[in-house]
Structure 1
Amino acid sequence: MIEFSRAAAAFGFAAGATRAVYQGLRRRRDEQWERTNHAGRAVDLYAGPAVAAGAALGVLPSGARGRGAAVLAGLAAGACGAYDDAKGDHRRGFRAHLGALRDGEVTSGAVKLFGIGAAGLVAGALLKERPVDKLLAGVVIAGTAHFVNLVDVRPGRAALTVLALGAPGLLRGPLAAAPMGAAAAVVADDLAERTMLGDAGAHALGAALGTAIAAANGRAGLAVHAAGLVAAAAYGDTVSRLAGSPE
Protein backbone atom coordinates (compact mmCIF):
# COMPACT_ATOMS: atom_id res chain seq x y z
CA MET A 1 0.00 0.00 0.00
CA ILE A 2 2.87 2.37 0.82
CA GLU A 3 4.55 1.71 -2.54
CA PHE A 4 1.26 2.26 -4.36
CA SER A 5 0.76 5.57 -2.54
CA ARG A 6 4.25 6.70 -3.51
CA ALA A 7 3.61 5.61 -7.09
CA ALA A 8 0.30 7.48 -7.20
CA ALA A 9 2.00 10.60 -5.85
CA ALA A 10 4.77 10.36 -8.45
CA PHE A 11 2.20 9.83 -11.23
CA GLY A 12 0.20 12.88 -10.17
CA PHE A 13 3.22 15.09 -9.60
CA ALA A 14 4.73 14.15 -12.97
CA ALA A 15 1.44 14.73 -14.76
CA GLY A 16 0.98 18.15 -13.13
CA ALA A 17 4.57 19.24 -13.81
CA THR A 18 4.35 18.08 -17.42
CA ARG A 19 1.13 19.93 -18.00
CA ALA A 20 2.51 23.14 -16.47
CA VAL A 21 5.67 23.05 -18.61
CA TYR A 22 3.68 22.17 -21.72
CA GLN A 23 1.22 25.03 -21.29
CA GLY A 24 4.05 27.45 -20.54
CA LEU A 25 5.90 26.50 -23.71
CA ARG A 26 2.74 26.76 -25.82
CA ARG A 27 2.20 30.31 -24.63
CA ARG A 28 5.67 31.31 -25.79
CA ARG A 29 5.39 29.82 -29.31
CA ASP A 30 8.55 29.37 -31.36
CA GLU A 31 8.63 28.42 -35.04
CA GLN A 32 11.66 26.20 -34.42
CA TRP A 33 9.41 23.91 -32.38
CA GLU A 34 6.65 23.57 -34.98
CA ARG A 35 6.39 20.78 -37.54
CA THR A 36 4.07 19.24 -40.13
CA ASN A 37 3.00 15.73 -39.18
CA HIS A 38 2.35 12.64 -41.32
CA ALA A 39 -1.12 13.92 -42.24
CA GLY A 40 0.10 17.37 -43.26
CA ARG A 41 -1.21 19.08 -40.13
CA ALA A 42 0.72 21.74 -38.24
CA VAL A 43 1.72 20.51 -34.78
CA ASP A 44 4.20 21.63 -32.14
CA LEU A 45 6.97 19.71 -30.37
CA TYR A 46 6.37 21.18 -26.92
CA ALA A 47 5.21 17.87 -25.51
CA GLY A 48 8.79 16.57 -25.82
CA PRO A 49 10.61 18.84 -23.37
CA ALA A 50 7.49 18.89 -21.19
CA VAL A 51 7.44 15.12 -20.61
CA ALA A 52 11.22 15.04 -20.10
CA ALA A 53 10.94 17.64 -17.36
CA GLY A 54 7.76 16.14 -15.89
CA ALA A 55 9.14 12.61 -15.63
CA ALA A 56 12.28 13.90 -13.87
CA LEU A 57 10.38 16.16 -11.49
CA GLY A 58 7.84 13.44 -10.74
CA VAL A 59 10.39 10.96 -9.43
CA LEU A 60 12.64 13.38 -7.52
CA PRO A 61 10.53 13.81 -4.34
CA SER A 62 9.70 10.10 -4.13
CA GLY A 63 12.78 8.93 -2.27
CA ALA A 64 12.81 5.86 -4.53
CA ARG A 65 16.05 3.94 -4.92
CA GLY A 66 17.30 4.60 -8.42
CA ARG A 67 15.67 7.99 -8.84
CA GLY A 68 19.04 9.58 -9.60
CA ALA A 69 19.59 7.08 -12.41
CA ALA A 70 16.09 7.74 -13.77
CA VAL A 71 16.59 11.51 -13.77
CA LEU A 72 20.01 11.24 -15.41
CA ALA A 73 18.86 8.81 -18.10
CA GLY A 74 15.63 10.66 -18.87
CA LEU A 75 17.10 14.15 -19.09
CA ALA A 76 20.17 13.04 -21.06
CA ALA A 77 18.02 11.08 -23.53
CA GLY A 78 15.64 14.03 -23.83
CA ALA A 79 18.53 16.41 -24.55
CA CYS A 80 19.97 14.12 -27.22
CA GLY A 81 16.52 13.74 -28.75
CA ALA A 82 15.94 17.49 -28.72
CA TYR A 83 19.23 18.00 -30.56
CA ASP A 84 18.06 15.54 -33.22
CA ASP A 85 14.68 17.28 -33.41
CA ALA A 86 16.48 20.56 -34.10
CA LYS A 87 19.37 19.35 -36.29
CA GLY A 88 18.15 16.06 -37.73
CA ASP A 89 18.33 15.27 -41.45
CA HIS A 90 16.75 12.80 -43.87
CA ARG A 91 19.02 9.84 -43.05
CA ARG A 92 17.37 6.90 -41.34
CA GLY A 93 18.72 3.99 -39.36
CA PHE A 94 21.82 3.44 -37.28
CA ARG A 95 23.88 2.23 -40.24
CA ALA A 96 23.37 5.46 -42.16
CA HIS A 97 24.59 7.56 -39.25
CA LEU A 98 27.50 5.25 -38.48
CA GLY A 99 28.46 5.32 -42.16
CA ALA A 100 28.50 9.11 -42.08
CA LEU A 101 30.63 8.98 -38.93
CA ARG A 102 33.20 6.78 -40.70
CA ASP A 103 33.39 9.49 -43.36
CA GLY A 104 34.13 12.10 -40.70
CA GLU A 105 30.63 13.57 -40.36
CA VAL A 106 29.05 13.64 -36.91
CA THR A 107 25.30 13.54 -37.52
CA SER A 108 22.59 14.30 -35.01
CA GLY A 109 21.65 10.62 -35.13
CA ALA A 110 25.16 9.63 -34.09
CA VAL A 111 25.04 12.12 -31.22
CA LYS A 112 21.76 10.57 -30.15
CA LEU A 113 23.01 6.99 -30.49
CA PHE A 114 26.20 7.46 -28.49
CA GLY A 115 24.80 10.03 -26.06
CA ILE A 116 21.85 7.90 -25.03
CA GLY A 117 24.02 4.80 -24.94
CA ALA A 118 26.52 6.49 -22.61
CA ALA A 119 23.76 7.84 -20.38
CA GLY A 120 22.20 4.38 -20.20
CA LEU A 121 25.50 2.81 -19.14
CA VAL A 122 26.06 5.44 -16.43
CA ALA A 123 22.50 4.99 -15.16
CA GLY A 124 22.93 1.21 -15.21
CA ALA A 125 26.12 1.55 -13.19
CA LEU A 126 24.21 3.56 -10.59
CA LEU A 127 21.53 0.88 -10.34
CA LYS A 128 23.51 -2.35 -10.17
CA GLU A 129 26.61 -3.64 -8.40
CA ARG A 130 28.13 -6.34 -10.61
CA PRO A 131 29.75 -5.38 -13.96
CA VAL A 132 27.59 -7.72 -16.04
CA ASP A 133 24.43 -6.38 -14.43
CA LYS A 134 25.58 -2.78 -14.94
CA LEU A 135 26.10 -3.48 -18.66
CA LEU A 136 22.77 -5.27 -19.09
CA ALA A 137 20.94 -2.50 -17.24
CA GLY A 138 22.56 0.08 -19.52
CA VAL A 139 21.42 -1.84 -22.60
CA VAL A 140 17.87 -2.05 -21.22
CA ILE A 141 17.74 1.69 -20.46
CA ALA A 142 19.15 2.83 -23.81
CA GLY A 143 17.26 0.12 -25.68
CA THR A 144 13.92 1.12 -24.17
CA ALA A 145 14.60 4.75 -25.11
CA HIS A 146 15.19 3.76 -28.72
CA PHE A 147 12.23 1.35 -28.72
CA VAL A 148 9.73 4.00 -27.61
CA ASN A 149 11.08 6.31 -30.29
CA LEU A 150 10.81 3.49 -32.83
CA VAL A 151 7.06 3.11 -32.26
CA ASP A 152 6.47 6.88 -32.40
CA VAL A 153 5.23 6.85 -35.99
CA ARG A 154 1.61 7.93 -35.46
CA PRO A 155 -0.16 10.25 -32.97
CA GLY A 156 -0.26 8.88 -29.43
CA ARG A 157 1.60 5.64 -30.07
CA ALA A 158 4.67 6.39 -27.99
CA ALA A 159 2.69 7.76 -25.05
CA LEU A 160 0.29 4.80 -25.12
CA THR A 161 3.22 2.38 -25.34
CA VAL A 162 4.75 3.93 -22.21
CA LEU A 163 1.44 3.64 -20.37
CA ALA A 164 1.06 0.00 -21.40
CA LEU A 165 4.64 -1.06 -20.64
CA GLY A 166 4.75 0.84 -17.37
CA ALA A 167 1.50 -0.53 -15.96
CA PRO A 168 2.96 -3.81 -14.58
CA GLY A 169 5.55 -1.83 -12.60
CA LEU A 170 3.11 0.70 -11.21
CA LEU A 171 2.55 -1.26 -8.00
CA ARG A 172 6.30 -1.52 -7.41
CA GLY A 173 6.85 2.19 -6.91
CA PRO A 174 7.45 5.62 -8.42
CA LEU A 175 10.09 4.86 -11.07
CA ALA A 176 7.52 3.54 -13.56
CA ALA A 177 4.78 5.89 -12.35
CA ALA A 178 6.64 9.11 -13.19
CA PRO A 179 7.04 8.54 -16.95
CA MET A 180 3.49 7.18 -17.04
CA GLY A 181 2.17 10.37 -15.43
CA ALA A 182 4.15 12.50 -17.88
CA ALA A 183 2.81 10.52 -20.83
CA ALA A 184 -0.77 10.67 -19.54
CA ALA A 185 -0.57 14.47 -19.29
CA VAL A 186 -0.08 14.95 -23.04
CA VAL A 187 -1.58 11.85 -24.65
CA ALA A 188 -4.92 13.54 -25.41
CA ASP A 189 -3.21 16.44 -27.20
CA ASP A 190 -0.95 13.98 -29.01
CA LEU A 191 -3.91 11.90 -30.22
CA ALA A 192 -5.74 15.07 -31.26
CA GLU A 193 -2.67 16.05 -33.35
CA ARG A 194 -2.10 19.32 -31.54
CA THR A 195 1.39 18.29 -30.42
CA MET A 196 3.90 15.51 -30.81
CA LEU A 197 6.56 14.05 -28.55
CA GLY A 198 9.32 14.16 -31.12
CA ASP A 199 12.62 12.45 -30.42
CA ALA A 200 13.03 14.48 -27.22
CA GLY A 201 9.87 13.18 -25.61
CA ALA A 202 9.95 9.63 -26.90
CA HIS A 203 13.56 9.06 -25.86
CA ALA A 204 13.11 10.74 -22.48
CA LEU A 205 10.05 8.66 -21.61
CA GLY A 206 11.69 5.48 -22.88
CA ALA A 207 14.88 6.02 -20.90
CA ALA A 208 12.95 6.79 -17.71
CA LEU A 209 10.78 3.72 -18.20
CA GLY A 210 13.83 1.61 -19.05
CA THR A 211 15.39 2.64 -15.75
CA ALA A 212 12.28 1.39 -13.92
CA ILE A 213 12.46 -1.92 -15.81
CA ALA A 214 16.18 -2.31 -15.10
CA ALA A 215 15.75 -1.50 -11.41
CA ALA A 216 13.02 -4.12 -11.01
CA ASN A 217 14.87 -7.01 -12.67
CA GLY A 218 17.71 -9.33 -11.78
CA ARG A 219 20.26 -10.67 -14.23
CA ALA A 220 17.96 -13.14 -15.97
CA GLY A 221 15.23 -10.56 -16.48
CA LEU A 222 17.74 -7.97 -17.67
CA ALA A 223 19.16 -10.43 -20.19
CA VAL A 224 15.72 -11.26 -21.59
CA HIS A 225 14.74 -7.60 -21.88
CA ALA A 226 18.11 -6.64 -23.41
CA ALA A 227 17.87 -9.40 -26.03
CA GLY A 228 14.36 -8.36 -27.01
CA LEU A 229 15.29 -4.70 -27.27
CA VAL A 230 18.40 -5.40 -29.38
CA ALA A 231 16.27 -7.52 -31.72
CA ALA A 232 13.67 -4.75 -31.96
CA ALA A 233 16.39 -2.18 -32.70
CA ALA A 234 17.87 -4.37 -35.45
CA TYR A 235 14.44 -4.89 -37.01
CA GLY A 236 13.63 -1.21 -36.76
CA ASP A 237 16.93 -0.26 -38.38
CA THR A 238 16.16 -2.57 -41.31
CA VAL A 239 12.67 -1.14 -41.72
CA SER A 240 13.99 2.43 -41.51
CA ARG A 241 16.56 1.82 -44.20
CA LEU A 242 14.02 0.19 -46.50
CA ALA A 243 11.57 3.04 -45.94
CA GLY A 244 14.28 5.52 -46.83
CA SER A 245 15.37 3.66 -49.98
CA PRO A 246 14.14 4.71 -53.41
CA GLU A 247 11.57 2.44 -54.98
Structure 2
Amino acid sequence: MGTFLRTVAATLASAAATATTRALLDTAPPGGPDRWTRTNHRGEPISLLEGPAVASGLVTGALVAGPDARTRTAVALATAGGGAFGLVDDLAEDTSTRTKGIKGHVGALLQGRVTTGGLKVLGIGTTSLAAAFVGTRRTGSTFGYLTDVAVNGSIVALGANLFNLLDLRPGRALKAGVALAVPLAVTSVGATSGAVLGAAAAAAPGDLGERDMLGDGGANALGALVGTQIAFGAPRAVRLLALAGILGLNVASEKVSFSKVIDGSPVLRRVDQWGRRPAASAQAPAPAGLDDKSAPGQDAPA
Protein backbone atom coordinates (compact mmCIF):
# COMPACT_ATOMS: atom_id res chain seq x y z
CA MET A 1 0.00 0.00 0.00
CA GLY A 2 1.44 3.38 -1.01
CA THR A 3 1.99 6.31 1.32
CA PHE A 4 -1.07 8.20 0.10
CA LEU A 5 -3.39 5.24 0.61
CA ARG A 6 -1.93 4.53 4.05
CA THR A 7 -2.43 8.19 4.98
CA VAL A 8 -6.07 8.05 3.92
CA ALA A 9 -6.58 4.74 5.71
CA ALA A 10 -4.93 6.09 8.86
CA THR A 11 -7.10 9.21 8.77
CA LEU A 12 -10.30 7.23 8.48
CA ALA A 13 -9.27 4.65 11.08
CA SER A 14 -8.15 7.29 13.56
CA ALA A 15 -11.31 9.36 13.17
CA ALA A 16 -13.53 6.30 13.54
CA ALA A 17 -11.66 5.02 16.61
CA THR A 18 -11.70 8.45 18.27
CA ALA A 19 -15.41 8.99 17.68
CA THR A 20 -16.36 5.44 18.67
CA THR A 21 -14.28 5.45 21.85
CA ARG A 22 -15.66 8.84 22.86
CA ALA A 23 -19.25 7.65 22.35
CA LEU A 24 -18.67 4.45 24.31
CA LEU A 25 -17.02 6.29 27.19
CA ASP A 26 -19.89 8.76 27.29
CA THR A 27 -22.41 5.97 27.83
CA ALA A 28 -20.50 4.51 30.78
CA PRO A 29 -17.60 6.66 32.04
CA PRO A 30 -15.28 4.50 34.20
CA GLY A 31 -15.81 5.55 37.80
CA GLY A 32 -18.76 7.76 36.90
CA PRO A 33 -19.02 11.09 35.05
CA ASP A 34 -17.87 13.19 38.02
CA ARG A 35 -14.46 11.56 37.90
CA TRP A 36 -13.98 12.91 34.39
CA THR A 37 -15.40 16.40 34.90
CA ARG A 38 -13.21 19.44 35.49
CA THR A 39 -13.69 23.22 35.43
CA ASN A 40 -12.35 25.14 32.42
CA HIS A 41 -11.02 28.69 32.12
CA ARG A 42 -14.59 30.05 31.93
CA GLY A 43 -15.63 28.35 35.14
CA GLU A 44 -17.76 25.82 33.25
CA PRO A 45 -17.73 22.00 33.51
CA ILE A 46 -15.77 20.18 30.85
CA SER A 47 -15.08 16.49 30.22
CA LEU A 48 -11.71 14.73 30.14
CA LEU A 49 -13.12 11.84 28.10
CA GLU A 50 -11.69 13.36 24.92
CA GLY A 51 -8.20 12.40 26.11
CA PRO A 52 -8.49 8.61 26.06
CA ALA A 53 -10.62 8.80 22.93
CA VAL A 54 -7.96 10.76 21.04
CA ALA A 55 -5.19 8.51 22.36
CA SER A 56 -7.14 5.48 21.11
CA GLY A 57 -7.59 7.07 17.71
CA LEU A 58 -3.93 8.01 17.44
CA VAL A 59 -2.72 4.52 18.32
CA THR A 60 -5.17 2.98 15.84
CA GLY A 61 -4.09 5.36 13.09
CA ALA A 62 -0.42 4.72 13.83
CA LEU A 63 -0.89 0.97 13.52
CA VAL A 64 -2.53 1.46 10.13
CA ALA A 65 -0.07 4.06 8.87
CA GLY A 66 3.29 2.55 9.76
CA PRO A 67 5.38 1.51 6.75
CA ASP A 68 6.64 -1.60 8.58
CA ALA A 69 6.04 -3.55 11.77
CA ARG A 70 9.02 -2.04 13.54
CA THR A 71 7.86 1.55 13.00
CA ARG A 72 4.24 0.72 13.80
CA THR A 73 5.29 -0.84 17.10
CA ALA A 74 7.54 2.08 18.06
CA VAL A 75 4.98 4.79 17.27
CA ALA A 76 2.14 2.92 18.97
CA LEU A 77 4.29 2.31 22.07
CA ALA A 78 5.29 5.97 22.39
CA THR A 79 1.73 7.20 21.82
CA ALA A 80 0.14 4.70 24.18
CA GLY A 81 2.74 5.48 26.85
CA GLY A 82 2.04 9.19 26.60
CA GLY A 83 -1.69 8.59 26.82
CA ALA A 84 -1.55 6.10 29.69
CA PHE A 85 0.78 8.02 31.99
CA GLY A 86 -0.91 11.30 31.15
CA LEU A 87 -4.24 9.78 32.11
CA VAL A 88 -2.83 8.66 35.46
CA ASP A 89 -1.88 12.26 36.16
CA ASP A 90 -5.30 13.48 35.03
CA LEU A 91 -7.23 11.18 37.32
CA ALA A 92 -4.96 10.72 40.32
CA GLU A 93 -3.22 14.09 40.71
CA ASP A 94 -3.16 15.50 44.23
CA THR A 95 -4.56 18.97 43.51
CA SER A 96 -3.88 20.11 47.08
CA THR A 97 -0.14 20.35 46.41
CA ARG A 98 -0.28 21.62 42.79
CA THR A 99 3.34 20.61 42.09
CA LYS A 100 3.95 21.78 38.54
CA GLY A 101 6.58 21.68 35.84
CA ILE A 102 9.28 19.13 35.08
CA LYS A 103 11.54 20.98 37.50
CA GLY A 104 8.96 20.73 40.28
CA HIS A 105 8.25 17.04 39.79
CA VAL A 106 11.91 16.07 39.43
CA GLY A 107 12.64 18.10 42.56
CA ALA A 108 9.94 16.19 44.40
CA LEU A 109 11.44 12.88 43.25
CA LEU A 110 14.87 13.94 44.51
CA GLN A 111 13.24 14.65 47.87
CA GLY A 112 11.74 11.19 47.94
CA ARG A 113 8.19 12.29 47.05
CA VAL A 114 6.54 10.57 44.11
CA THR A 115 3.87 12.78 42.55
CA THR A 116 1.63 11.64 39.72
CA GLY A 117 3.43 14.19 37.57
CA GLY A 118 6.77 12.68 38.59
CA LEU A 119 5.44 9.23 37.73
CA LYS A 120 4.36 10.61 34.37
CA VAL A 121 7.82 12.08 33.71
CA LEU A 122 9.44 8.72 34.49
CA GLY A 123 6.83 6.70 32.60
CA ILE A 124 6.79 8.77 29.43
CA GLY A 125 10.57 9.01 29.52
CA THR A 126 10.82 5.22 29.73
CA THR A 127 8.28 4.47 27.00
CA SER A 128 9.78 7.14 24.74
CA LEU A 129 13.25 5.64 25.14
CA ALA A 130 11.91 2.13 24.57
CA ALA A 131 10.13 3.33 21.42
CA ALA A 132 13.37 4.93 20.25
CA PHE A 133 15.25 1.65 20.70
CA VAL A 134 12.61 -0.13 18.63
CA GLY A 135 12.17 2.48 15.91
CA THR A 136 15.73 3.76 15.43
CA ARG A 137 17.61 1.98 12.68
CA ARG A 138 21.30 1.27 13.12
CA THR A 139 23.25 2.68 10.18
CA GLY A 140 26.70 3.26 11.67
CA SER A 141 28.73 2.66 14.82
CA THR A 142 27.31 1.57 18.14
CA PHE A 143 28.03 5.02 19.57
CA GLY A 144 26.21 6.68 16.69
CA TYR A 145 23.25 4.37 17.14
CA LEU A 146 23.01 5.00 20.88
CA THR A 147 23.29 8.73 20.26
CA ASP A 148 20.42 8.53 17.78
CA VAL A 149 18.36 6.55 20.28
CA ALA A 150 18.97 9.17 22.98
CA VAL A 151 18.11 12.03 20.63
CA ASN A 152 14.99 10.31 19.31
CA GLY A 153 13.75 9.33 22.75
CA SER A 154 14.26 12.88 23.99
CA ILE A 155 12.34 14.32 21.04
CA VAL A 156 9.39 12.04 21.76
CA ALA A 157 9.34 12.66 25.52
CA LEU A 158 9.82 16.42 25.29
CA GLY A 159 7.33 16.60 22.43
CA ALA A 160 4.76 14.91 24.65
CA ASN A 161 5.35 17.46 27.38
CA LEU A 162 5.32 20.40 24.96
CA PHE A 163 1.85 19.53 23.71
CA ASN A 164 0.67 19.33 27.29
CA LEU A 165 1.79 22.95 27.63
CA LEU A 166 -0.44 23.87 24.71
CA ASP A 167 -3.56 22.26 26.15
CA LEU A 168 -4.57 25.42 27.99
CA ARG A 169 -7.27 26.72 25.69
CA PRO A 170 -9.83 25.00 23.43
CA GLY A 171 -8.42 23.54 20.24
CA ARG A 172 -4.89 24.87 20.73
CA ALA A 173 -3.10 21.52 20.98
CA LEU A 174 -5.15 19.99 18.17
CA LYS A 175 -4.34 22.91 15.86
CA ALA A 176 -0.65 22.63 16.69
CA GLY A 177 -0.74 18.91 15.96
CA VAL A 178 -2.32 19.43 12.54
CA ALA A 179 0.04 22.32 11.74
CA LEU A 180 3.05 20.09 12.36
CA ALA A 181 1.60 16.89 10.90
CA VAL A 182 0.90 18.40 7.47
CA PRO A 183 4.54 19.27 6.61
CA LEU A 184 5.76 16.06 8.27
CA ALA A 185 3.62 14.11 5.81
CA VAL A 186 6.54 14.31 3.34
CA THR A 187 8.83 12.23 5.57
CA SER A 188 9.35 8.48 5.34
CA VAL A 189 6.77 7.99 8.10
CA GLY A 190 4.49 10.67 6.70
CA ALA A 191 1.41 8.45 6.59
CA THR A 192 1.28 8.77 10.37
CA SER A 193 0.07 12.33 9.78
CA GLY A 194 -3.25 10.74 8.89
CA ALA A 195 -3.60 9.57 12.50
CA VAL A 196 -3.29 13.17 13.71
CA LEU A 197 -5.69 14.53 11.09
CA GLY A 198 -8.32 11.90 11.78
CA ALA A 199 -8.23 12.24 15.56
CA ALA A 200 -8.26 16.04 15.35
CA ALA A 201 -11.23 16.05 12.98
CA ALA A 202 -13.23 13.78 15.27
CA ALA A 203 -12.33 15.61 18.48
CA ALA A 204 -12.42 19.23 17.26
CA PRO A 205 -16.18 19.87 17.60
CA GLY A 206 -16.25 18.93 21.27
CA ASP A 207 -12.91 20.59 22.02
CA LEU A 208 -13.67 23.91 20.29
CA GLY A 209 -17.21 23.81 21.66
CA GLU A 210 -15.68 23.59 25.15
CA ARG A 211 -17.51 20.42 26.05
CA ASP A 212 -14.35 18.28 25.99
CA MET A 213 -10.64 18.74 26.59
CA LEU A 214 -7.60 16.63 25.85
CA GLY A 215 -6.16 16.71 29.35
CA ASP A 216 -2.71 15.26 29.92
CA GLY A 217 -3.74 11.89 28.49
CA GLY A 218 -4.73 13.24 25.09
CA ALA A 219 -2.12 16.01 24.85
CA ASN A 220 0.79 13.76 25.85
CA ALA A 221 -0.30 11.10 23.36
CA LEU A 222 -0.59 13.67 20.56
CA GLY A 223 2.79 15.22 21.33
CA ALA A 224 4.48 11.82 21.54
CA LEU A 225 3.12 10.77 18.15
CA VAL A 226 4.18 14.01 16.47
CA GLY A 227 7.57 13.53 18.13
CA THR A 228 7.94 10.09 16.56
CA GLN A 229 7.34 11.59 13.13
CA ILE A 230 10.38 13.79 13.63
CA ALA A 231 12.43 11.12 15.40
CA PHE A 232 11.87 8.37 12.84
CA GLY A 233 11.39 10.42 9.68
CA ALA A 234 13.89 13.29 9.71
CA PRO A 235 17.65 13.27 9.03
CA ARG A 236 20.04 13.62 11.96
CA ALA A 237 20.76 17.33 11.45
CA VAL A 238 17.05 18.16 11.43
CA ARG A 239 16.46 16.01 14.49
CA LEU A 240 19.20 17.78 16.43
CA LEU A 241 17.74 21.18 15.51
CA ALA A 242 14.26 19.97 16.44
CA LEU A 243 15.50 18.66 19.77
CA ALA A 244 17.17 22.00 20.55
CA GLY A 245 13.96 23.85 19.70
CA ILE A 246 11.67 21.56 21.68
CA LEU A 247 14.01 21.59 24.67
CA GLY A 248 14.23 25.37 24.50
CA LEU A 249 10.45 25.72 24.53
CA ASN A 250 10.13 23.35 27.47
CA VAL A 251 12.73 25.30 29.43
CA ALA A 252 11.17 28.64 28.48
CA SER A 253 7.79 27.45 29.72
CA GLU A 254 9.12 27.51 33.27
CA LYS A 255 9.40 31.31 33.05
CA VAL A 256 7.22 32.46 30.13
CA SER A 257 3.48 31.96 29.61
CA PHE A 258 2.73 30.67 26.12
CA SER A 259 -0.80 32.02 26.47
CA LYS A 260 0.53 35.53 27.01
CA VAL A 261 2.85 35.20 24.02
CA ILE A 262 -0.01 34.01 21.80
CA ASP A 263 -2.35 36.74 23.02
CA GLY A 264 0.34 39.32 22.31
CA SER A 265 0.62 38.35 18.63
CA PRO A 266 -2.31 39.35 16.39
CA VAL A 267 -1.66 36.47 13.97
CA LEU A 268 -1.22 33.80 16.62
CA ARG A 269 -4.19 35.12 18.58
CA ARG A 270 -6.41 34.97 15.48
CA VAL A 271 -5.37 31.38 14.74
CA ASP A 272 -5.75 30.41 18.40
CA GLN A 273 -9.28 31.81 18.57
CA TRP A 274 -10.48 30.36 15.27
CA GLY A 275 -13.47 28.11 15.84
CA ARG A 276 -13.73 28.95 19.53
CA ARG A 277 -16.58 30.62 21.35
CA PRO A 278 -16.16 34.41 21.52
CA ALA A 279 -14.12 35.57 24.47
CA ALA A 280 -16.84 38.09 25.32
CA SER A 281 -19.05 35.25 26.51
CA ALA A 282 -16.54 34.18 29.10
CA GLN A 283 -17.63 34.14 32.71
CA ALA A 284 -15.63 35.37 35.68
CA PRO A 285 -12.29 33.54 36.09
CA ALA A 286 -12.58 30.23 37.85
CA PRO A 287 -10.10 28.40 40.05
CA ALA A 288 -7.40 26.75 37.99
CA GLY A 289 -8.50 23.47 36.44
CA LEU A 290 -6.93 21.11 33.95
CA ASP A 291 -7.87 23.46 31.11
CA ASP A 292 -6.15 26.37 32.85
CA LYS A 293 -2.92 24.91 34.17
CA SER A 294 -0.93 28.13 34.25
CA ALA A 295 0.74 29.23 37.44
CA PRO A 296 1.50 32.96 37.59
CA GLY A 297 3.95 33.67 34.80
CA GLN A 298 4.14 30.05 33.74
CA ASP A 299 2.65 27.43 31.50
CA ALA A 300 3.18 24.45 33.72
CA PRO A 301 3.81 21.06 32.08
CA ALA A 302 2.90 17.75 33.70
TM-score interval w.r.t. the shorter chain?
A: over 0.9
1:148-167 equivalences under 5 Å are: 148-167=163-182
Q: Distance in 1 between matches of 2:222 and 2:201?
A: 11
Indicate whether 1:238 and 2:255 are aligned: yes
Letter of the structure 2 residue corresponding to residue 117 of structure 1: G
The DSSP-based 3-state class of the residue aligned with 2:254 is helix
Letter of the structure 2 residue corresponding to residue 31 of structure 1: D
Indicate whether 1:56 and 2:59 are aligned: yes
> Which structure has the larger Rg?
2
The DSSP-based 3-state class of the residue aligned with 2:46 is strand
TM-superposed CA distance for 1:91, in Å, is 1.7
Identity of aligned residues (%): 39
Confirm or deny: 8 A CA contact 1:64 1:175 kept in the other structure.
no
Q: Distance in 1 between matches of 2:2 and 2:78?
A: 26
Equivalent in the alignment of 1:97: 105
1:84-123 equivalences under 5 Å are: 84-88=89-93, 89=95, 90-123=98-131
Equivalent in the alignment of 1:134: 149
TM-superposed CA distance for 1:31, in Å, is 1.2
Q: How many residues align?
A: 244
Match of 1:182 among 181, 188, 199: 199
TM-superposed CA distance for 1:63, in Å, is 4.7
Equivalent in the alignment of 2:25: 25
Q: Distance in 2 between matches of 1:83 and 1:131?
A: 30
Q: Distance in 1 between matches of 2:66 and 2:234?
A: 19
The structure in which a higher percent of residues are helix is: 1
Q: Which runs of 5+ in 1 are unaligned?
A: none
1:66-81 equivalences under 5 Å are: 66-81=71-86
Equivalent in the alignment of 1:41: 44
TM-superposed CA distance for 1:237, in Å, is 2.2
Most deviating of 175-184 and 138-147: 175-184
Q: Which runs of 5+ in 2 are unaligned?
A: 139-144, 257-293
TM-score, structure 2 normalization? 0.77
Q: Distance in 2 between matches of 1:228 and 1:154?
A: 22
* Structure 1 residue runs of 4 or more that deviate by more than 6 Å after TM superposition: none
TM-superposed CA distance for 1:67, in Å, is 1.2
TM-score, structure 1 normalization? 0.93
Confirm or deny: 8 A CA contact 2:66 2:192 kept in the other structure.
no
Deviations along 1:71-94, one digit per CA (max 9) or x if unpaired, are 000111111100110122312212
Deviations along 1:115-152, one digit per CA (max 9) or x if unpaired, are 11111111111121211111111111111111111111
Q: Distance in 1 between matches of 2:11 and 2:78?
A: 18
The DSSP-based 3-state class of the residue aligned with 2:249 is helix
Distance 1:134 1:145, change over 3 A: same
Equivalent in the alignment of 2:281: none
Equivalent in the alignment of 1:209: 226
Q: Distance in 2 between matches of 1:185 and 1:233?
A: 28
Equivalent in the alignment of 1:7: 7
Q: Distance in 2 between matches of 1:136 and 1:175?
A: 20
Q: Distance in 2 between matches of 1:211 and 1:35?
A: 30
